[in-house]
């Protein structure tokens, strides 16, 4: 059974850093495309970043240069390193699997982890 | 990376059909057959309902269908049921990035 479990969220001051983790089971992270999607309180979904099976990474303009997506194949875990955090980064962060190499849709989602950026 | 345009809300009575539109540009919705739709109940993670414009994942009711014309994609739910009340989001792939719609709140009257 495919499962994604996020962790690492919390309250952080503006300008601070945080690393989110997404532990996967039931499939191999390195063999799939994996993404982060966020949702500000009461707002819609916003795509954040993707890492392809080959290692290429892409980011939304809103986080480019501040966030870094990565994975640890030995731990089957996806990460999102978030630096220079701003109030507008406050959101629930979901990790999501893209169904297969070459696919373009998110077939499994974690339960999300809340990041609150506030002084 | 501008968000796709969806109506803020739609409503329908049990048994009726409703359609949610999702308008983008030729760079996203109109340029690829890679539109997907997600259902989200309050406090829950999104759930994939339609992928590649009109395909249903295993386990999703055939009451859900998708289509596309030009820069606008649509999600139709037929035979509305109370459990369909949720937020719905469209998404389009666009050259190694993705864009979501603003979301539509479906109310079953």
- The pLDDT tens digits for B2-52 are 899 999 999 999 999 999 999 999 999 999 999 999 999 999 999 999 999
On average, the pLDDT of chain A sits at: 96
- The pLDDT tens digits for A26-38 are 999 999 999 999 9
* pLDDT score of A87 more than 90: yes
Q: Do A104 and B93 touch (CB under 8 A)?
A: yes
CA distance A104 to A35: 11
Q: Which residue of B has its CA nearest to A5?
A: B45
pLDDT at A115: 98
For residue A79, what are the contacts with CB-CB under 8 A and spacing of at least 6? A19, A20, A21, A22, A69, A70, A71, A72
pLDDT at B49: 98
CA A115 to chain centre: 11
- The pLDDT tens digits for B52-94 are 999 999 999 999 999 999 999 999 999 999 999 999 999 999 9
pLDDT band at A101 (very low <50, low <70, confident <90, very high): confident
Neighbours of A81 (CB within 10 A): 14
CA distance A79 to B85: 33
* pLDDT score of B1 more than 80: no
**Is A41 an 8 Å CB contact of chain B?**
no
pLDDT at B46: 98
**Is A93 an 8 Å CB contact of chain B?**
no
Section A6-27 average pLDDT: 97
CA distance B95 to A60: 12
Section A72-101 average pLDDT: 96
Structure token digits, residue A85: 């955090």
pLDDT at A100: 82
pLDDT at A102: 82
Q: Do B1 and A61 touch (CB under 8 A)?
A: yes
Largest CA distance in chain B: 39
């Amino acid at each position: 059974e495919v499962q994604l479990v996020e962790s690492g969220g919390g309250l952080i001051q503006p300008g601070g850093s945080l690393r989110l983790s997404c532990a996967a089971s039931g499939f191999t992270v390195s063999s799939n495309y994996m993404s982060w999607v966020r949702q500000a309180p009461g707002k819609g979904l916003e795509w954040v970043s993707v890492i392809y099976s080959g290692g290429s990474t892409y980011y939304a303009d809103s986080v480019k240069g501040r966030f870094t997506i990565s994975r640890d194949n030995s731990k089957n875990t996806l990460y999102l390193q978030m630096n220079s955090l701003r109030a507008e980064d406050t959101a629930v962060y979901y990790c999501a699997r893209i169904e297969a190499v070459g696919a373009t849709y998110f077939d499994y989602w974690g339960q999300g982890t809340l990041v609150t950026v506030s002084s | 990376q501008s968000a796709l345009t969806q109506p803020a809300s739609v409503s329908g009575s049990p048994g009726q059909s409703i359609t949610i539109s999702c308008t983008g540009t030729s760079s996203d919705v109109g340029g690829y057959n890679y539109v997907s739709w997600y259902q989200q109940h309050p406090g829950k993670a999104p759930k994939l309902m339609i992928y590649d414009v009109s395909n249903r994942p295993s386990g999703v009711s055939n009451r859900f269908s998708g289509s596309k014309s030009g820069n606008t994609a649509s999600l139709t739910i037929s035979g509305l049921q109370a459990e369909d009340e949720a937020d719905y989001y469209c998404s389009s792939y666009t050259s190694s990035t993705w864009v979501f719609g603003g979301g539509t709140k479906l109310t079953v009257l």
